A and B are shown apart, each in its own frame.
Chain A
Amino acid sequence: AQRVTQPEKLLSVFKGAPVELKCNYSYSGSPELFWYVQYSRQRLQLLLRHISRESIKGFTADLNKGETSFHLKKPFAQEEDSAMYYCALGTYNQGGKLIFGQGTELSVKP
């Protein structure tokens, strides 16, 4: 079964602390992984994808096929990082679809 699991519904850290939002996936094929973010009262938007291997707003994510994980990390959290974060799995069967995890709310306290 194709599935994305984000084990934490809420992650609360202090400003300047490191952040790691966990994401595990289940997929038998070659996965394409994404992180989407939704800031308060804004629309859902792409943060980064694994194939581009880039850092966006200080966030990075490495695909670990052995552990089937795609954790999102940032060394020093900022208050403006507070948002809902969704990990998504892209599958090419059935013509392609994005399967989202349940989301993790990140709260960065001053």
Chain B
Amino acid sequence: EAGVVQSPRYKIIEKKQPVAFWCNPISGHNTLYWYRQNLGQGPELLIRYENEEAVDDSQLPKDRFSAERLKGVDSTLKIQPAELGDSAVYLCASSLEGLGTEAFFGQGTRLTVV
């Protein structure tokens, strides 16, 4: 079992450019989370999916961030345009069903905006 797979692992882009991150959750996991982790901080939730429905996107900066989870499996997180302050590690996690079950994390994508 590969666990939660994220790509790319690292991304360096210039500000104002678009960027996309991809996540493949563990097979059978209905719940998928995207977190952002700034340097020296804990992860902060951006968006949570139950199957293909975004049930909590209150922390997602909707002017530049978007996410989708087509068919309730893979998910992509996009930033357009990127700003310097978006530099962070973006983590994807999945769980069988919501909060009561263990969340498994991917390795993360480290984004550097220059």
Contact = CB atoms under 8 A, between A and B. Distances in A.
Chain A interface size, as a band, is 20 to 34
Given A43-B108, A95-B50, A96-B48, A32 B99 contact: yes
A94 B105 contact: no
Nearest to A42: B107
B103 A98 contact: yes
Contacts of B43: 44, 86, 98, 100
Interface in B33-47: 33, 40-45
Contact of B3 (A32, A43, A103): A43
Interface residues of B, number: 26
B42 A103 contact: yes
Interface in B13-39: 33
Nearest to A100: B42
A2 to B, nearest CB: 11
B99 A94 contact: no
A95 B40 contact: no
Contact of B98 (A45, A96, A100): A96
Nearest to A92: B99
A46 B96 CA distance: 14
A29 to B, nearest CB: 12
26 contacts: A9-B40, A32-B99, A32-B100, A43-B3, A43-B105, A43-B107, A44-B43, A86-B42, A86-B43, A91-B99, A92-B99, A94-B56, A95-B50, A95-B55, A96-B56, A96-B99, A97-B48, A97-B99, A98-B43, A98-B99, A99-B45, A100-B42, A101-B42, A102-B42, A103-B40, A103-B41
